[in-house]
A and B are shown apart, each in its own frame.
Chain A
Amino acid sequence: MNEIEIVKLAVQGDRNAFAEIVKTYQGRIYNLGLRMTGNEQDAEDILQETFLSALQNIGNFAMKSAVYTWLYRIAVNFGLKRLQLRKKQYGHIDIDDPDSEKLHLEHLHNWPDFNEKKVNDKHFREKLDEAMLELPEKYRTVFILRDLHEVSTIDTAKILNISESNTKVRLMRARNFLKDKLENLMSHEERS
């Protein structure tokens, strides 16, 4: 049975079909919540809220979009609400107006490829997570959806209810911000 058939059955109230949808997407929704909030308990709460909402509203799902787009939209909304509540916990850096001229003046040098040892270094990974959590949520969410979950630009725009061009700009700013963070991290490690 393909996904469309499973979703049709779920829309009609079939519990087994809905459970199949949960099994298929629980990992992605949990990961989305974890990446958005950086907190396991929040991720679990977002996961439960998302599928509870989906269960309550599946009968109204018109199947005009893919079910994952629908689930992601619900999850992102719960994630953003949760972040709003915790906003004061994070000190965000304003990256609305990146200084592109400054980028031209960077002393550019190549990076080495990141080897397996580096990728598995716990301290290094914690620093990567910290850098991502420093991103304002509107950029972080786009980065998670586009680059980590490989959602298309058009679907990301639909999920976040923003334009495609805005999605692209936010993605660029997120990538550039993380690149700079990585640059600083590597410079710091070289010096120590």
Chain B
Amino acid sequence: MKDERSVMFDQVCVFLGQDIDSEPCKIIQKHLQVCDNCEIFVDKIKKTVKLYQTCNDCEEVPPAKVTKNLFSVLNLDDLCPEVDDCGCDK
């Protein structure tokens, strides 16, 4: 039979599958305050996610050539953004 810490840890794992700051996660906050292992674990998960987010700009404009090729393939060359918008070499 699992002890209380194991059960709580399982819940942490399940809840961490959601947004870390979501409402269900608040339920376990009290536990995390007194459990060093869980607290450090959560902190590392947060830092891992934050690190990957910092290193990734998901709205980054593709290279100009990629945009130009895309609009060409779509037969939308005449609507390809100007240089200032996407670096597209019209």
**A residues in contact (CB < 8 Å) with B:** 15-16, 18-19, 22-23, 26-28, 30-32, 35, 43-44, 47-48, 51-52, 55, 100-101, 103-104, 106, 108-111, 113-114, 119, 125, 128, 132, 143, 147-150, 153, 167-172, 175-176, 178-179, 182-183
B40 touches A109 (CB 8 A): yes
Closest A residue to B10 by beta carbon equals A100
Closest A residue to B59 by beta carbon equals A27
A128 touches B55 (CB 8 A): yes
A182 touches B48 (CB 8 A): yes
A111 touches B44 (CB 8 A): yes
B34 at the interface (CB under 8 A from A): no
* Residues in B whose Cβ lies below 8 Å from that of A176: 13, 45
- Residues of B12-54 whose CB lies within 8 A of A: 13-14, 16-18, 36-37, 40-41, 43-45, 47-54
Could you tell me the distance between the alpha carbons of A110 and B49 in the complex, rounded to whole angstroms? 16
Q: What's the nearest-Cβ distance from chain A to residue B57, in Å?
A: 7
Majority DSSP secondary structure for residues of A touching B: helix
Known A-B contacts A22-B74, A48-B73, A104-B9; the reply to A149 vs B58 at CB < 8 A is yes
Could you tell me the distance between the alpha carbons of A1 and B5 in the complex, rounded to whole angstroms? 54
* Residues in A whose Cβ lies below 8 Å from that of B66: 30, 44, 47
B48 touches A31 (CB 8 A): no
**B residues in contact (CB < 8 Å) with A:** 5-6, 9-10, 13-14, 16-18, 36-37, 40-41, 43-45, 47-62, 66-67, 69-71, 73-74, 76, 79, 81, 85-86
Q: List 15 A-B contacts (CB under 8 A).
A: A15-B79, A16-B79, A27-B61, A30-B66, A31-B56, A31-B59, A47-B62, A103-B9, A104-B5, A108-B40, A109-B40, A147-B53, A148-B58, A171-B17, A182-B51
* Residues in B whose Cβ lies below 8 Å from that of A28: 58-59
Q: What's the nearest-Cβ distance from chain B to residue A184, in Å?
A: 12
* Residues in A whose Cβ lies below 8 Å from that of B52: 128, 132, 143, 147-148, 178
* Residues in B whose Cβ lies below 8 Å from that of A100: 6, 9-10, 13
* Residues in B whose Cβ lies below 8 Å from that of A51: 70, 73-74
A18 touches B17 (CB 8 A): no
Closest 6 interchain pairs by CB?
Answer: A168-B17, A172-B17, A19-B79, A30-B62, A108-B40, A179-B48
